[in-house]
């Protein structure tokens, strides 16, 4: 069966690269991107429709026009921004999801992807190798909305048979599109500042360990999960998934392999520290490995190498353009 895919919230950090991967896999004419802001890269304009996921009528029009077989919902307000606008974060993260699930049922969409986050865990969750099933008491509005979203997804699967699939992404590291206001964004900013200024003032403390994943791994995981036979998907809330865990000081040491004079300092009292302190240091993703064969390919040293290589080229090109 021919797939027709709609990505909602396609112009952010993950959507920009997921759209490219889906176009590559299914063909340019089969992938419709949609967002409330314009694309970050020129290729993003192919089959782009501006739609707000909170506008149910507009969303209905989009589904009617393209009759999607798969829908990827990436529109959300992330952790750090969510703490500034908690009511809007709840509205977008929950009502956007409910709109998409209801319309997916109404339009007989075959598969829906919706990402959750390691933010579903909280101060009483075990910090090391956090298991799939454990205490979950998130205390950010982002984490609360993601945990509620997980329960809603599982409910729509059990109650209505909607084939919803989900991953609890850790911090995603990438260089093509800018990150969207999360607590793990330092692991991207650090590369930009290292290459431009040879120094970085980190908003998290030196020893704050967080689980991370390189974008290529995140995209491959997403495509593999969506390709898996329905009976392999035993978890319909959201799968734990991880690539590698590290601290800002470990990352700085890796960067010094390429830029020996790089220096890092640490800011006091950034509100993102309080968020990071409630999140896992590392994640146990045994279920994803067993159920649908997940295995990460990028460790810290490889991530550092590809980030420095790709970003130096990108910055070089951008500097060239501005001259």
Question: Known catalytic residues?
Answer: 142
Do the Cβ atoms of 70 and 111 come closer than 8 Å? yes
Least Å distance between CB 54 and ligand NAD? 5
- Contacts (CB under 6 A) with ligand NAD, residues 139-198: 169, 171-172, 179-180, 182, 184
Residues near 116 by beta carbon (within 8 Å), at least 6 away in sequence: 146, 147, 149, 150, 166, 167, 168, 169, 237, 238
Q: Does 307 bind ligand NAD (CB under 6 A)?
A: no
Rounded to 5, what percent of the chain is helix, strand, coil? 50, 15, 35
Is 31 or 53 the residue whose CB approaches ligand NAD more closely?
Answer: 53
Is 169 or 191 the residue whose CB approaches ligand NAD more closely?
Answer: 169
Number of residues that bind ligand NAD (CB under 6 A): 27
- From the list 52-60, 248-256, 268-276, 302-310, the region that binds ligand NAD by CB under 6 A is 52-60
CA atoms within a 13 Å half-sphere pointing along the CA-CB vector of 17:
20
Local structure of residue 214 (DSSP, 8 states): E
Among 6, 7, 12, 264, binds ligand NAD (CB under 6 A): 12
Q: How far apart are CA 142 and CA 275, in angstroms?
A: 10
Least Å distance between CB 78 and ligand NAD? 5
Least Å distance between CB 2 and ligand NAD? 25
Q: Pattern 66-85, binding to ligand NAD, x per CB under 6 A? A: --------xxx-x-------
Is 262 or 311 the residue whose CB approaches ligand NAD more closely?
Answer: 311
Q: Does 280 bind ligand NAD (CB under 6 A)?
A: no
Q: Does 17 bind ligand NAD (CB under 6 A)?
A: no
* DSSP sequence for 172-192: EE-SSS---S-TTTHHHHHHH
Element (H, E) at 265: strand 263-266
Least Å distance between CB 52 and ligand NAD? 4
- Contacts (CB under 6 A) with ligand NAD, residues 200-259: none
Q: How far apart are CA 128 and CA 137, in angstroms?
A: 16
Q: How far apart are CA 95 and CA 116, in angstroms?
A: 15
Do the Cβ atoms of 154 and 101 come closer than 8 Å? no
Q: How far apart are CA 218 and CA 229, in angstroms?
A: 19
- From the list 51-59, 195-203, 249-257, 292-300, the region that binds ligand NAD by CB under 6 A is 51-59
Element (H, E) at 16: helix 13-26
Least Å distance between CB 115 and ligand NAD? 4
Is 30 or 184 the residue whose CB approaches ligand NAD more closely?
Answer: 184
The CA-based diameter of the chain, rounded to the nearest angstrom, is 58
Q: Does 14 bind ligand NAD (CB under 6 A)?
A: yes
Among 30, 117, 140, 208, binds ligand NAD (CB under 6 A): 117
Do the Cβ atoms of 222 and 266 come closer than 8 Å? no
Q: Which residues bind ligand NAD (CB under 6 A)?
A: 8-9, 11-15, 35-37, 52-54, 74-76, 78, 92, 115, 117, 169, 171-172, 179-180, 182, 184
């Amino acid at each position: 069966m021919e797939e027709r895919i709609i990505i909602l919230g396609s112009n952010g950090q993950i959507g920009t690269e997921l759209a490219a991967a889906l176009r590559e896999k299914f063909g340019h004419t089969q992938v419709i991107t949609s967002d409330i802001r314009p694309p970050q890269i020129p290729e993003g304009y192919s089959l782009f429709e501006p739609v707000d996921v909170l506008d149910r009528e507009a969303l209905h029009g989009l589904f009617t026009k393209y009759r999607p077989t798969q829908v990827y919902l990436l529109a959300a307000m992330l952790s750090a921004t969510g703490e500034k606008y908690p009511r809007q974060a709840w509205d977008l993260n929950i009502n956007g999801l409910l709109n998409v699930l209801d319309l997916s049922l109404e339009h007989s969409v075959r598969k829906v992807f919706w990402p959750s986050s390691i933010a579903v865990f909280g101060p009483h969750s075990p910090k090391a190798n956090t298991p799939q099933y454990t205490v979950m008491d998130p205390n950010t509005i982002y984490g609360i909305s993601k945990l509620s979203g997980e329960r809603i997804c599982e409910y729509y699967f059990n109650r209505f048979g909607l084939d919803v699939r989900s991953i609890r992404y850790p911090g995603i590291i990438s260089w093509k599109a800018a990150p969207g206001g999360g607590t793990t964004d330092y692991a991207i900013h650090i590369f930009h500042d290292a290459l431009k200024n040879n120094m970085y003032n980190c908003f998290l403390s030196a020893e704050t360990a967080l689980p991370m994943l390189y974008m290529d791994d995140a995209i491959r995981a997403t495509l593999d999960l969506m390709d898996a036979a329905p009976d392999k998907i035993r978890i319909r809330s959201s799968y734990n998934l991880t690539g590698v865990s590290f601290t800002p000081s470990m990352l700085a040491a890796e960067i010094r392999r390429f830029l020996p004079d790089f220096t890092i300092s640490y800011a006091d009292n950034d509100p993102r520290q309080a968020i990071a302190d409630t999140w896992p240091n590392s994640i146990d993703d045994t279920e994803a490995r067993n159920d649908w064969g997940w295995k990460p390919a990028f460790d810290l040293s490889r991530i550092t190498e590809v980030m420095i290589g790709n970003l130096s080229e990108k910055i070089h090109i951008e500097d060239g353009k501005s001259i």
